[in-house]
Amino acid sequence: MGLKFYTIGDRETVLGFSLAGVPGQVVSTPEEAVEALDAAFKTEGLGIIIISERVAHDIREHVNQYLYNTSFPLIIEIPDRDGPMEGRGTVRDQIRAAVGVRF
Amino acid sequence: MARYKVVPTKTNLARLKRDMNFAQEGYDLLEQKRQILIVELMGLIDRTADAQEKSEKSLAEAFHALQQAVLSMGRTSVTDLAKGIHIDSDITINFRRIMGVNIPKVEVEVRDYAPYFSLSNTSFWIDETIVHFKTLLNEIGRLAEMRISLMRLAQEVQKTMRRVNALDKIAIPDFKESVKYIEDTLEESEREMFAMQKVIKERLQKTTR
């Protein structure tokens, strides 16, 4: 038995992934998102948590706390059906912001 | 810059010099580590950017198919259908270490136990959606691996840079200053000693004459 996927996001994202057999939790407020994320991290057997970018953005601090301090499960942020968030920047920008150096 | 509080003796000088060499070696090693990490990071950034672009495109297609499915069948039917889907995905995550950083390696295996609904009354878009999201799982697995690796490497680079800077800008200059202080003081007292010896010598010669 391998590890599983789990989705946290808006209605469309969760529905989409549920069509690929991935369970998930629809969230519409930051409070719900925090709750869902905490619950997911307590669930055994999860390998990757897919979270909508916009949802993750609303609870950035909370997500980062998990992202930087726990090695498991992995969190991956993906755009929702409206596409990537504006002003998100490229991977390069994000890393530059994190490291504080130019490459 | 601050000088260490040391008594200017030869023993302390030897000890300080030894510590300074140690700091210098540490600096060289950390600097090497930083360079290796940055090379890793650079390669990974490009690959991640490519993978991200690709998966975002697939994701857009997947959402488009989903929207069509919802439009043609209604949300309730699609949600009901989802309950019957029997696709199993297994993730295997292994960690390897680069320069003390835990880098995940993700394998995704998707098993599809089709068919799980009757073909009548279902839209072509439903099948499309399923195929799209199914393929996405693999891409997301790979993307997750890269993004997490990238983040951890970046974090390590930052940490290493802080240490390199601390050694380069604080520890090593402090050592240099302390060593210089002791050397100067020792030299000064040697000169004093020499002068004193001369005076004594002259006086001795005067008295014996």
Asked whether the beta carbons of B15 and B181 are under 8 A apart, the reply is: no
pLDDT class of B122 with cuts at 50, 70, 90: confident
Neighbours of B141 (CB within 10 A): 25
Edge-to-edge strands, sheet with A4-9? A24-26, A4-9, A46-52, A74-78
Chain B neighbors of A76, CB-CB under 8 A = 140, 143-144, 147-148
Higher pLDDT, A69 or A34: A34
CA angle B27, B32, B37 (to 5 degrees): 125
Write the CATH number for B45: 1.10.287.3240
Check: complex ipTM more than 0.95: no
Residue A54 near chain B (CB below 8 Å): no
Do B88 and A101 make contact, defined as CB atoms within 8 angstroms?
no
Contacts of B92 in chain A (CB under 8 A): 2-3, 47
- Shortest distance between the Cα of B138 and any Cα of chain A, in A, equals 11
Distance in angstroms (rounded) separating the CA atoms of residues B182 and B1: 16
A96 has a pLDDT exceeding 80: no
CATH: 3.40.50.10580, 3.20.20.370, 3.40.50.300, 3.40.640.10. Which one for A4-99?
A: 3.40.50.10580
CA-based nearest distance A57→chain B, Å? 16
Q: Is B53 helix (H, G, I), strand (E, B) or coil?
A: helix
Q: A70: phi > 0 → left, psi -120 to 50 → alpha, else beta; which?
A: beta
The answer as to whether B16 is a domain residue is: yes
Q: Is residue B48 included in any domain, yes or no?
A: yes
Q: Are strands A4-9 and A24-26 parallel, antiparallel or unpaired?
A: parallel
Q: Model's pTM, two decimal places? A: 0.81
Domain ranges (residues) in chain A: 4-99
Angle between helices A91-99 and B124-165 (to 10 degrees): 30
Identify the band that residue B15 occupies on the pLDDT scale cut at 50, 70 and 90. Answer: very high
Name the residue facing A98 among B55, B129, B154 (closest C-beta). Answer: B154
Structure tokens at B161: 């840079």
Closest CA–CA distance from residue A34 to any residue of chain B (Å): 20
CB contact (8 A) between residue B90 and residue A91 = no
Q: What is the mean pLDDT of chain B?
A: 89
Rounded-to-integer distance, Cα B87 and Cα B195, Å: 94
How far does A44 lie from chain B, in Å, by closest CA? Answer: 13
- Chain segment B75-109, per-residue pLDDT in tens: 888 888 888 888 888 999 998 888 888 889 999 99
- Any bridge partners for residue B61, and if so which? none
Torsion of CA B109, A36, A95, A100, to 10 degrees: -150
Quote the domain boundaries for residue B75: 10-199
Residue with tokens 């599809």: B112
Task: Specify if B96 maps to a domain.
Answer: yes
Nearest to A48 among B60, B130, B140 (CB): B140
The pLDDT, as a whole number, for residue B197 is: 95
Q: Which residues of chain A neighbour B110 with C-beta distances below 8 Å?
A: 20
* Greater model confidence, B116 or B37: B37
How far from B83 is each of A15, B75, B76, B120, B174, CA to CA, in Å?
Answer: 10, 13, 11, 17, 68
Inform me whether the pLDDT recorded for B1 exceeds 70: no
DSSP H helical segments within B74-171, as ranges?
Answer: 75-84, 124-165
Return the structure tokens found at A59: 């609870």
CB-nearest partner of A92 from B49, B70, B102: B49
For testing the chain A interface, which of B80, B81, B133 should be mutated: the one with the most A CBs within 10 Å? B133
In a domain, B207, yes or no: no
How far apart are the CA of B185 and the nearest CA of chain A, in angstroms? 42
Residue B44 has pLDDT above 80, yes or no: yes
At a CB cut-off of 8 Å and minimum separation 6, what does A82 contact? none
Q: If contacts are CB pairs under 8 Å, which of residues 60-79 in chain A contact chain B?
A: 67-68, 71-72, 74-76, 78-79
Contact A103 B42 (CB under 8 A): yes
- The count of structural domains within chain B is 1
Q: How far is CA B132 from CA A17, A57, B29, B56, in A?
A: 10, 25, 47, 12
